[in-house]
Structure 1
Amino acid sequence: MPIRSHLVPVVVPVALALRRAGHEVAIATGSAVAEEISRLGVPVLVLPRALAPEEVGRRPELMAGTGFSPEQFRQWRPEVTGPLSVPLFNGLMTAEFAGDLLDAAKTWRPDVIVRETNEYGGYLAAEVLGLPLAVLDIAPLISRLVPDLTERLNRLREDLGLPAIEEATHASGLLTAGLLPEPWYPEDQRTPGHRYYRVPATTDEQPLDPAIVDFPADRPFVLAGFGSNAHSLLATGSELMRSTVDALGSLPVRAVAVLGSEQAVAAWTGPRPANVHLASFVPQRSLLGACDLFLTHAGFSGVREALSAGVPMVAVPLFAEQPENAARVHGLGLGVHIDPAGLTADVLAAGLERVLDEPSCRSAARAFQRRILGLPALTAFTDALESLV
């Protein structure tokens, strides 16, 4: 899908590893991310109807019948209504993606197709072309939120003249690259084709802001970040970030709260406690290694990065499969899950204190980190892909 957070952390590094191994590789996606992907060194097959979330509004028919409208974004206050319910499977967009990919394959002929978890057009195209399929599992729990996925896929398969399938796990193909150790996966999510890998740290992150570097080392250090998409979805009147800064300011910690943009930092009219630094952006993966606690929306990439650093979490899920991720964090003892509905600074501060004061969360996160360190690097996925051809 043409979403940066779906592509850059995992899909691009795998593509680059395959290119280094001598293979011909292209990423098929929409024009919204094509320039950046090309700049990172991977050729792009631009699919004309593959739209980024911010582009979907140009075609209202894509949302027809889903019960969802862009107006929901502008009214969304998670502290009032809880996580935002968004469509997690769109049959029309999937069919169009498959059609565009089949058109591209007439001249760029692949031997294997690798899809990311959220994108099923690649699965359909692989079936039509009779090609082996693999999956980069960037959102392991998301399919649990589409209970009728098998029926939806079968309707699309019928339109393409393909026979019906019995289970949606058929779309996992022959090989699935899990990006956390097996215990993260509930048993019903594990398939015979699952292999588990460690995502190596990047080497090109920017240095830390000196204001963060110079924080005194007299208190626990907390990073609060709600991802790259949440800030653009919040209603103007949402109190989520104000409550976050208030909660951090009330605790004996040093903290960084990421607001998502330079404009948001400049326009901030909320509290400015002396122990909290407001940032537009931080090199999250690097900074987590210096943290005692991560306050997160429980996006899978953030959860994976925190566990790779052995950092426990307070998870406040905001949309998509984040409630499932937050519940998994809580269930595995890696932190606590706080429902955003009814969230106040006091509620959030109590959750942060609980994790900071409870050694078991830190111990569980460290133990999970050791499991991650025992996995092969994701670059080894190239060898497994070669075996499919």
Structure 2
Amino acid sequence: MAHIAILSLPEAGHINPTLPIARELVARGHRVSCPAAPSVADRIRETGAEVLRYEPRPSEPIVIDGMEAAARATLALLQDLEHVLPQIEARYAGDRPDLIVNDWLAWAGPMLAAKWGVPRIQSWSAHAASEGYDFGRFVVAMFEASPIKTQFDDLLATVLDKHGIPPLELHDFYRPAEFNLVYQPRSFHVHNDTFDDRYAFVGPTRPSDPRGWTPPGRPLVYVSLGTIISDPAFFRACIQAFTGRHYRVVLSVGPDIDPTAFEPLPANIEAHHQVPQPAVLAHTDVFVTHAGMNSAMEALAAAVPMVAVPTTPEQRTTADRITQLGLGRSLAPAEATPDRLRDAVRELLDDAATKQRLRAMRRDVRDAGGAPRAADAIEARLPPR
């Protein structure tokens, strides 16, 4: 069978959609290899895929709270790549894959595919690029106004030259590949009339499973900003908003915040580093979320209304779509006061029309096909052997 390389970033929102696909491809008899940082190696290994371990560049997380921070985060992405690309290429020495599937921010994918002349599929854990939605144009414009543009351009030229990779520009990393996997139903995606048969809208690949977690009670409000954003003040606002309410509240505060820092907590609220999100969402009545794509899709798979509190441009696009389609509410971070959070949750708990629209969207999610359809699309594009 074929050798398929899956390249992603080690963050949950990027790697989570690919794990069920890796498992499905392995079950079909394919060999799947995944370059990986130690932090995610065990999760990949559980799928049956082969882990090609690399050591990541030591770095501090960047809070994206403005255009300049977004530019610095993009430069950091290239600096990370400069560090790990020699390791990844060495792992594939004499053992090149037949096809590469890469996350849209795993730039080693387009670089190595161009160098090796192997086909590539882009994995969109965010909104996919098309003629109608070009996030890359925004990134390029952002760098035009940034004082670190020259530093980025010089480093990109150095990486390409050092590894013998054909010329690539920043915008190229945000353009669609010859084929693209999108982890949304088409009905949710922005500008969904601008996509052609180069795209498979497979929806979320991790279905909700109520058997994986026991809720503390119902109704249940689940609060999470994902695994990257650390904002203790936001969680304190949620505690103030929801203390003593008739519903139970589960806070997933992320790996960088100590849940005990919020103690003593009221009887109806509990805090954890992380929880099994798809299982929690299967029991959730309202989800307060940063509107990361992975989280939003898992909520739609469980038909859970959302209070979106986005902090990045991509999250704001998702939050806008949630409100446009009547699937929840959206608050800017500065608007997420205890009173506004409490009101938004109360409205959604009692909103029958929103729940009806969510049930229709859940049908679209299920019809999209998930990991099996993604695996079908990958197999259809394997080169003949």
1:285 aligns with 2:281: no
CA contact (8 A) 1:83 1:319 kept: no
Structure 2 runs not aligned, ≥5 long: 1-7, 144-151
The answer for the alignment partner of 1:87 in structure 2 is 73
Contact 2:309-2:336 within 8 A present in 1 as well? no
Q: Give a deviation string over 1:202-257, Cα, whole Å, max 9, x none.
A: 7797432xxx34x2x5xx33212222222xx33xxx42111101112264433222
Aligned to 1:122: 109
Output the CA distance in 1 between the equivalents of 2:201 and 2:98: 23
Contact in 1 for aligned 2:112/2:165 (Cα 8 Å):
no
- Are positions 1:17 and 2:24 aligned together? yes
How far 1:261 sits from its partner (Å)?
6.1
Q: Which residue of 1 aligns with 2:146?
A: none
AA in 2 matched with 1:178: V
Amino acid of the structure 2 residue aligned with 1:246: Q
What letter corresponds to residue 378 of structure 1 in structure 2?
A
| TM-fit CA distance, 1:365 | 1.5
User: Counterparts of 2:24 and 2:360 in 1: how far apart (Å)?
Assistant: 29
Q: Which moved more, 1:360-369 or 1:33-42?
A: 33-42
Do the aligned partners of residues 45 and 294 (structure 1) sit closer, same or farther apart at CA in structure 2, a change above 3 Å counting?
Answer: same
- 2:54 and 2:88 in contact (8 A); partners too: yes
Partner of 1:316: 309
Partner of residue 241, structure 1: 235
Provide closer, same or farther for how the CA distance between residues 334 and 153 of structure 1 changes in structure 2, counting only shifts above 3 A.
Answer: farther
Change (3 A) 1:173 1:203: same
The residue aligned with 1:363 is 356
Kept in 2, the 8 Å contact 1:145–1:321? The answer is no
Instruction: Measure, in 2, the Cα distance between the counterparts of 1:338 and 1:117.
Output: 27
Instruction: State the 1:104 CA deviation.
Output: 3.1
Q: 1:108 and 2:95 equivalent? A: yes
Residue 334 and residue 207 in structure 1: after superposition, are their counterparts in 2 closer, same or farther (change >3 A)? closer
The answer to whether the Cα contact below 8 Å between 1:176 and 1:193 also exists between their aligned partners in 2 is yes
Q: Which residue of 2 aligns with 1:221?
A: 220
Instruction: Give the unaligned 5+ runs of structure 1.
Output: 58-69
| Deviation by residue 1:21-60 (Cα, 9 ceiling, x = unmatched) | 1112100233443344335532112344x44xxx324xxx
CA distance in structure 2 between the aligned counterparts of 1:186 and 1:262, rounded to whole angstroms: 32
Q: Write the distance in 1 (CA, Å) between the matches of 2:38 and 2:250.
A: 34
The one-letter code matched in structure 2 to 1:137 is W
1:48-87 alignment, distance < 5 Å: 48=55, 50-51=56-57, 55-57=58-60, 85=70, 87=73
- Going from structure 1 to structure 2, the CA distance change for 1:335 and 1:203 (only over 3 Å counts) comes to closer
More divergent stretch after superposition (29-38 vs 166-175): 166-175
2:148 aligns with none
**Equivalent residue pairs, number:** 354
Once the two structures are superposed, the pairs formed by residues 345-356 of structure 1 within 5 Å of their partners are 345-356=338-349
Matched residue, 1:60: none
Shift in CA distance, 204/321, structure 1 to aligned 2, threshold 3 Å = same
- Counterpart in 2 of 1:190? 195
Task: Report the equivalent of 2:147.
Answer: none
For normalisation by structure 1, the TM-score amounts to: 0.77
1:303-346 superposed Cα distances (whole Å, 9 cap, x missing partner): 11100011110011234622222122122211111011243211
Find out whether 1:207 has 2:201 as its counterpart.
Answer: no
* 1:192 Cα deviation after fit: 3.7
Query: What amino acid is aligned across from residue 190 of structure 2 in structure 1?
Result: P
Contact 2:114 2:165 in 1 (8 A): no
Is the partner of 1:302 in helix, strand or coil?
Answer: helix
How many Å separate the matches in 2 of 1:240 and 1:110?
44
> Does 2:41 align with 1:37?
no
Whole-angstrom CA distance in 1 between matches of 2:85 and 2:275: 36
